[in-house]
Structure 1
């Protein structure tokens, strides 16, 4: 089985974990949030790894860097939604801190990857 280049990236692997964790955290949200925060958080979290993967397939480094910027933005969008969820007491302080630590690690790696593409 062929392994694509994005599958070898540590940041992509972390982004997959972030998406899985986000799905798990949002399982306990109120039912009325199914089309609100649950949907938004899940889409944001999936967007991170998806844009990293798509970016690696682009031909120019400028294009690759652009997709890393989108992935970075999706990560911050998820953090914003996690903050709102914490304020609404939909997620625990512990889960919020976990998301925040994951976001910090992923954004640092995405930024480094983006800079690599811009300076290559």
Structure 2
């Protein structure tokens, strides 16, 4: 943790970028009438995960970083909801949905671990 120079050094940020790309690719296949609805919402929330990790890492204080990790976790839950709705509407098959949710869970675990480490560093 002490060798962190920027958000680009964080594996969770790198993984979240790959995941955002996957969300974009799958949502590109959804009906065009969802362009300003579900597509826009799921993409915005997915981008928010990576963006909040980056913004938190760029802050001066550890407490602020922890706060932005919490926002990123909230965005993960939002994307999960959008993806489950897309699945219910038939926009995603279970085979398309499962890997997105599995990566989301992995990112969530990594964010939780990062938050715990940051809190320990803040309160030794």
TM-score with structure 1 setting the length: 0.94
Structure 1 unpaired stretches of 5+:
none
**CA deviation string 1:91-116 (max 9, x = no partner):** 11111101110111000000111111
Secondary structure at 1:90's aligned position in 2? Answer: coil
Deviation at 1:23, TM superposition (A): 0.6
Aligned to 1:111: 112
Aligned partners of 2:85, 2:72: CA distance in 1, in Å? 20
Secondary structure at 2:73's aligned position in 1? Answer: helix
Runs of 4+ in 1 over 3 A off after TM superposition: none
**CA deviation string 1:53-108 (max 9, x = no partner):** 00001111110100000011111110111000000001111111011101110000
Aligned to 1:102: 103
Aligned length: 117
Secondary structure at 1:35's aligned position in 2? Answer: coil
Aligned partners of 2:116, 2:74: CA distance in 1, in Å? 15
Aligned partners of 1:34, 1:59: CA distance in 2, in Å? 37
Aligned to 1:79: 80
Q: Give me the CA root mean square deviation.
A: 0.9
Matches within 5 A, 1:1-120: 5-120=6-121
Aligned partners of 1:98, 1:55: CA distance in 2, in Å? 27
Deviation at 1:117, TM superposition (A): 1.4
Aligned partners of 2:17, 2:72: CA distance in 1, in Å? 12
Aligned partners of 2:90, 2:99: CA distance in 1, in Å? 15
